[in-house]
Structure 1
Amino acid sequence: MDEVLAVSGLSAGYRGRAVVRGIDLSLRRGDIVGLLGANGSGKSTLIRAITGQIPLIGGSVTVGGVDLAAAPERAKASFGLAIEPHELPAPLSGRQYIQLVASIRRCAPDDLPSGDLPGGDLLERLELRRWIDRPIAEYSLGTRAKLAILAALLGRPPLLIFDETLNGLDPVAAWEVKRVITALCASGRHAAVVSTHVVEAVPALCSRAVLMAEGSLSRSWDAAQLAEAHRVPGAFEESVMQALRTRAAA
């Protein structure tokens, strides 16, 4: 099956109040979708709903052909989520956290896609090897983000989800992670959702982009539009800002 994520008419929120509503979104293998929006637009709520962290108020989510509500464990086996760095368990070492995630995902702690990627070992590329046996409490924000990304790749899930995880990375680490995402999706075996505030990085990384505003998808850009915007410095950022201002004025 080429489609790894199908979201239809999704509404979700907290204590019965919808924060996001009427969301339709699908990803096929090879897709990299940039998820954009201002703070409070609903990006993180949408990701929590897609990954089963909060219940749906309406609509449906299917991951790898499996309905999330009907078979949550099977559906969750098809995605890897890089959690927010502050949510990592501080008392554990990086290795212990990787082992914990591997046990939950029922895979080996070293089941990473390094052999499928240019540049070799991911621990070396992300400069994690000297930190892996130290407590996460000692990690900087960027090092925690690297560990969260590494955990998301365990078991080589077809759908990869990054919730603003790239925002805290230094330039070299961000470049390496974008190379990893691009290579995996170019292989035709994976798709990715990248939620980010780094708007200028989207045209070079993503094959599509969607903009959230006030809990709904307000605009989208296809591959041709992103490629065109990428040719003109600042063009994509300007189009995103215009969309946000237009929505705010309305």
Structure 2
Amino acid sequence: MRYGSKDVLKGVDFNVRRGEVVALLGPNGAGKTTTIEIMEGFRARSAGEVRVLGVDPSKGDELWRARLGIVLQSWRDHGKWQVRELLAQLGDFYRPYSTADRPRPRNVDELLAMVSLEEQADQKIANLSGGQRRRLDVAIGIVGRPELLFLDEPTVGFDPKARRDFHDVVHRLSDLEDTTIVLTTHDLDEAEKLSGRILILAGGQIVADGSADQLARQASGKAEVRWAVDGEHFVHATPDASTFVHELFKQHGDRVRDLEVRRASLEDTYMTMVRQYEAGRSEEAIAAFREAGQ
């Protein structure tokens, strides 16, 4: 993707398999939203190839769009509508595209329960709180039972309960309905809880791709093992924590206490990759990650 003479995306190369939950992480300005908008068909790319559900998004028709669900960072205001009324109306838009392979849109009461908006069903949207409005955005995104769901910063403004409820919805969609989900978030803990795979985007390119555990292994190379024997505490870094712990118990048996094995957290990994890019070592970092992942 190019704006004038500036490439904001270059060499963004990845695949997402059916039923995966993939988190796209990156600092502000890295190109996350632009990448999502190209895949959604909202923005035309400058070059390259994109296929979403087998279709070039720039040429997607209404039947193709009916297979997608989208939760944007912000949505056009429908303040005068009641919550139930809006969801029922949007559900009607999907009915002409229901087939033997494409289920009917969700029942409104089921949808309200999924996003915990039962008590607000007959309220005008203008009277909802910010968190309630964001839950409505999620409901709008899943009303048509999408095969592929895009979530752009979906839990901004959620309180802890609403966030936990939303996580349950994501797990239900992916585990029970085989929905493919691509999400962007600045919440690294949320990314680790929800996604089976994480992409890190920096400077307009993918600099890391793997599970949180895989990326942590690749970033640090070693695990930190902490333990105590007879009241004395020890710390040791090792590339093979399992073998080291086995030998530790073989040597000291039940005298080993307070055992802890710590790998780099997703936050550690994320910051390592972004710092390497900012330090001008992005190609070195990408090569190292790809080699370690083979």
Q: TM-score, normalised by structure 2?
A: 0.69
Aligned residue in 1 for 2:268 = 238
Whether the 8 Å contact between 2:12 and 2:205 is mirrored in structure 1 is: yes
- Whether 1:218 and 2:212 are equivalent positions in the alignment is no
In the aligned structure 2, how far is the partner of 1:145 from the partner of 1:112? 18
Whether the 8 Å contact between 2:38 and 2:57 is mirrored in structure 1 is: no
**Residue in structure 1 matching 2:113, options 118, 124, 132:** 124
Please give the secondary structure, in 2, of the residue aligned with 1:219.
strand
In the aligned structure 2, how far is the partner of 1:58 from the partner of 1:71? 17
Whether the 8 Å contact between 1:13 and 1:45 is mirrored in structure 2 is: no
- Whether 1:23 and 2:18 are equivalent positions in the alignment is no
**Residue in structure 2 matching 1:206, options 184, 189, 195:** 195
Compare 156-165 and 24-33 and name the one that shifted more.
24-33
1:122 is displaced (CA, Å) by: 4.2
Please give the secondary structure, in 2, of the residue aligned with 1:194.
strand
Aligned residue in 2 for 1:58 = 47
Superposition pairs for residues 7-86 of structure 1, below 5 Å? 12=1, 18-86=7-75
In the aligned structure 1, how far is the partner of 2:58 from the partner of 2:268? 39
Q: Which amino acid aligns with 1:56?
A: R
- Whether 1:144 and 2:133 are equivalent positions in the alignment is yes
Aligned residue in 2 for 1:195 = 184
Unaligned residue ranges in structure 1 (runs of 5+) = 1-11, 115-119
Whether the 8 Å contact between 1:80 and 1:157 is mirrored in structure 2 is: yes
In the aligned structure 2, how far is the partner of 1:134 from the partner of 1:232? 48
Higher share of residues assigned strand: 1
Please give the secondary structure, in 2, of the residue aligned with 1:62.
coil
Structure 1 moving runs of 4+ over 4 Å: 13-18, 226-229, 231-234
- Whether 1:167 and 2:197 are equivalent positions in the alignment is no
Q: Which amino acid aligns with 1:197?
A: H
Unaligned residue ranges in structure 2 (runs of 5+) = 99-103, 220-260, 281-294
Whether the 8 Å contact between 1:203 and 1:227 is mirrored in structure 2 is: no
- Whether 1:112 and 2:121 are equivalent positions in the alignment is no
Tell which has more relative contact order, 1 or 2 (C-alpha 8 A, sep 6+).
Answer: 1
1:84 is displaced (CA, Å) by: 2.2
Q: Which amino acid aligns with 2:82?
A: S
RMSD of aligned C-alpha atoms? 3.0
Please give the secondary structure, in 2, of the residue aligned with 1:157.
coil
Which is higher, the Rg of structure 1 or of structure 2?
A: 2
